């Protein structure tokens, strides 16, 4: 019992140190994640700006072709391999398939 009483403060100090280290680690991890998120947002903002400029350039060069590309991009995002697309001959999307212009 006497031995246990002498060791108890040392154990508590170890537990306290462990908690301190864990707290510091969690804080550092949050700081790293926050900085990584901030940098990712900056990169995404730059690429979005470049994409918008590219789309604007493409549109100004050939509005019909740009519209064609955007139409088929929308298909790519909404239709999968198992989808069936039915277009009427008077639909805006069909005009790109039937017209050589």
For residue 23, give both structure tokens: 């707290």
Share of the chain above pLDDT 90, in %: 33
pLDDT band at 11 (very low <50, low <70, confident <90, very high): low
How far is the CA of 33 from the CAs of 19, 22, 38, 41, 43, in angstroms?
Answer: 21, 16, 9, 12, 15
- Averaged over 25-47, what is the pLDDT? 97
Do 97 and 87 meet the contact criterion of CB atoms below 8 Å apart?
Answer: yes
Tell me: pLDDT of 39 over 60: yes
Choose between 74 and 14: higher pLDDT: 74
For 99, residues 6+ apart whose C-beta sits below 8 A from its C-beta are: none
pLDDT at 3 over 60: no
Per the CB < 8 A criterion, the answer to whether 24 and 31 are in contact is: no
Where are the chain's structural domains? 1-61, 63-101
Global pTM value? 0.51
């Amino acid at each position: 019992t006497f031995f246990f009483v002498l060791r108890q403060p040392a154990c508590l100090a170890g537990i306290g140190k462990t908690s301190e280290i864990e707290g510091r680690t969690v804080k550092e991890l949050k700081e790293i994640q926050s900085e990584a998120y901030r940098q990712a947002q900056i990169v995404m903002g730059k690429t979005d700006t470049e994409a918008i400029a590219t789309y604007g350039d493409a549109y100004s060069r050939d509005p019909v072709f740009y519209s064609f590309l955007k139409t088929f991009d929308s298909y790519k995002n909404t239709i999968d391999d198992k989808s069936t697309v039915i277009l009427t001959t008077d639909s805006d999307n069909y005009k790109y398939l039937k017209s050589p212009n």
